[in-house]
Amino acid sequence: MKKYLIILILCFNIAAISAQQHEQVSIENIIATKDTKGQVLLEFTFSVPSKTLGANDVLMLTPVLITKDGSEQRTLSPIYAYGRISALSARRKRTFNGTTGETTDATRFSIHNGDTLVYSSTFAYQSWMRTATLVMRSQLRNCCKEHELPVRELYTCSFEEERSEKQPCIVVPEQPTVTLGITEHLAQTEHFVEPVENYVPRQKIMVGEQEEAQIIYFKWDKMEIDSEYFDNEKVLRHVIDVTRQIHDDPEAEIARIVLLGLSSPEGRYTYNVKLAGLRCEAMKQYILNHISLPDSCFELVNGGEGWDELRYQVENSEMSDKEDILRIIDDVPILKGREVRLMKLNQGIPYRYMKEHFFPKLRRAGYIKVYYCKKK
């Protein structure tokens, strides 16, 4: 079976989104129309800001019209907001079930981070709806948790008079003013800054999440940081600048800094594992040289040889002998000659290609994540 899980024992996207993130889901331009035939048209614009959902999250939001006493209600079609990985899983499931192309609730109103959709629903008017309240019920699911989020009250209908389709009743709910602090603002703009509620220890993450982290690269067989190698100087400067802003924020403090060390598979396995750990330590010491932090803030993860990352790079490339390489990585254990088999494949041509194009990106202290909490 193909393996897509990295050996990193963390998962940055499994945790439930916070109440504040939930409030940032935008519902605007609500239009409620009752025509002369007794049909109600409800429309609104729904937006999910970037980074609201973790990669594995599925947020199901269900609009409900309900009376004040709760005696009458009408549940409308739900909206499904997907994280990057959960969206892929949903597509695979539809393909497996043979429902690709069919319109369902899960596909009619589906949305992703950074997207906006126009929601519309038509239903028969009933007298109890005259002053009914529109609320939004929300349920968050991911690979290991499922729970209800607070119900949001959007607005109260008013159908005292008959209205034509050309005379809609437009109700714009009051939006609470949210003032973000320095660190909270950084969490909106920097992928590697997250609230501590999102931190889940000892969990794996999917390979390919490196786009959301800061990465320092090392030269072959080196554990010392070279600021002139790749974009190291730019990344280091940015990491220190953002981390210092959080450290100096009077309203927040650093709760955890997670660092992952990796090595390329060249050479002896035990040596490479040790090298990966030393790269973690080097990045930790670099941060401590610039910012005074307690040792307990740091979590160092020794990722050893980056085989899962290598597999990800190969699978997403157009290199020759790709299927044979993937088969060797999947079927031959590391300590049973995996690297030797790759070196012998097709006279070593694919191995030399990987060594030149892929291995340099495996030598890193990557997945730098900074978690913060609010000061009490």
Instruction: Kindly state the average pLDDT of the residues 196-203.
Output: 80
Query: What is the rounded distance in angstroms from the CA atom of residue 326 to the CA atom of residue 320?
Result: 11
* pLDDT of res. 15: 39
* pLDDT of res. 271: 96
Instruction: Kindly state the average pLDDT of the residues 53-61.
Output: 83
Q: What percent of the chain stands above pLDDT 90?
A: 39
Identify the weakest region by mean pLDDT among 54-68, 101-115, 129-143: 101-115
Higher pLDDT, 113 or 318: 318
Identify the weakest region by mean pLDDT among 9-23, 136-150, 204-218: 9-23
Q: What percent of the chain stands above pLDDT 70?
A: 80
pLDDT tens, position by position, 280-309: 999 999 999 999 999 999 999 998 999 998
Model's pTM, two decimal places? 0.54
What confidence tier does 22 reach under pLDDT thresholds 50, 70, 90?
low
Identify the weakest region by mean pLDDT among 103-107, 181-185, 342-346: 103-107
Instruction: Kindly state the average pLDDT of the residues 161-165.
Output: 49
pLDDT tens, position by position, 72-99: 888 888 998 888 887 877 777 766 665 5
What confidence tier does 227 reach under pLDDT thresholds 50, 70, 90?
very high
pLDDT tens, position by position, 251-262: 999 999 999 899
CB 82 within 8 A of CB 111: yes
Enumerate the H helices of the chain as residue ranges: 19-23, 84-96, 105-108, 182-189, 232-248, 269-290, 307-315, 322-331, 338-344, 349-357
Say whether pLDDT at 238 is over 90.
yes
Enumerate the H helices of 3-75 as residue ranges: 19-23
Query: What is the rounded distance in angstroms from the CA atom of residue 362 to the CA atom of residue 307?
Result: 9
Query: What is the rounded distance in angstroms from the CA atom of residue 45 to the CA atom of residue 63?
Result: 13
CA 352 vs CA 35, 47, 235: distances in Å: 70, 47, 29
Lookup: tokens for 196: 């501590």
* pLDDT of res. 339: 95
* Strand residue runs (E) in 37-179: 39-47, 58-66, 73-75, 79-82, 110-112, 116-124, 133-141, 146-156, 169-171
* pLDDT of res. 146: 73
Identify the weakest region by mean pLDDT among 50-64, 196-210, 268-282, 352-366: 196-210
Instruction: Kindly state the average pLDDT of the residues 37-59.
Output: 84
CB 321 within 8 A of CB 344: no
Higher pLDDT, 30 or 341: 341
